[in-house]
Amino acid sequence: MSRPPRTVLPLLACALCVSSCYWLDTLPRASGECVGTHQGRRVHWPLREESSLAHRSAQGALPDTFIDLDYTPDGEPVLEGFGVDIHLVEGARVEEDRTVGLRPREGQLVPEEPSLVTRWVGNIGGASGYLASPGVPVEGSVTLDELSGVAAEGSFLYRYSDGGALTCTFEVIEASSE
């Protein structure tokens, strides 16, 4: 029995909608990795899927936009977690590569100049900061390839005084409001 065209078209639209929603849910929320040398050893740390672009605001305060990146430091017994929070000016957008230098100051990395990156917070495990050895990187940079209200893509580089260097890539989407 054939269905009239008025019935087939809505059913087809519903089927496409459901299948595309399922397909979008199966896409990874985050991808990337840190590779290089850390404390004299070659490392390859994957980006955790929970990493995201986040927007939050405290009542009465300006919204805070940041990229929350958490990598899994496999094979590092003294390092439970490794990551950064990249705080951005509200409404920041990037359509072509934009690099911001990072310099050490008072036990942390700070953006070299006023820019779209307002604050850089290094994380180890559940705390902010850096391991005593190799310490705060002697230099770093972050390159944002693309940045919109719902996604961010780029990389950051750390160079340590012991000669180690890490290049970390990321591609994340906005944290869900679930």
**Per-residue tens of pLDDT for the chain, all 178 residues:** 555 555 544 544 545 454 444 444 545 589 999 999 998 999 999 999 999 998 876 665 666 889 999 999 987 777 888 999 999 988 889 988 999 999 999 999 999 987 889 999 999 988 898 988 899 999 999 999 999 989 999 999 999 999 999 999 999 999 864 4
Element at 136 (helix H, strand E): none
Can you give the pLDDT at residue 64? 81
Can you give the pLDDT at residue 21? 47
Can you give the pLDDT at residue 8? 45
Structure tokens belonging to residue 155: 């990389």
Can you give the pLDDT at residue 11? 47
Can you give the pLDDT at residue 51? 95
Can you give the pLDDT at residue 45? 95
**Residue 26 in 3-state DSSP?**
helix
Peptide bond into 10 cis (omega under 30): no
CA-CA distance, 55 to 88, in Å (whole number)? 10
Which residue has tokens 């054939």?
2
Can you give the pLDDT at residue 178? 42
Can you give the pLDDT at residue 46? 96
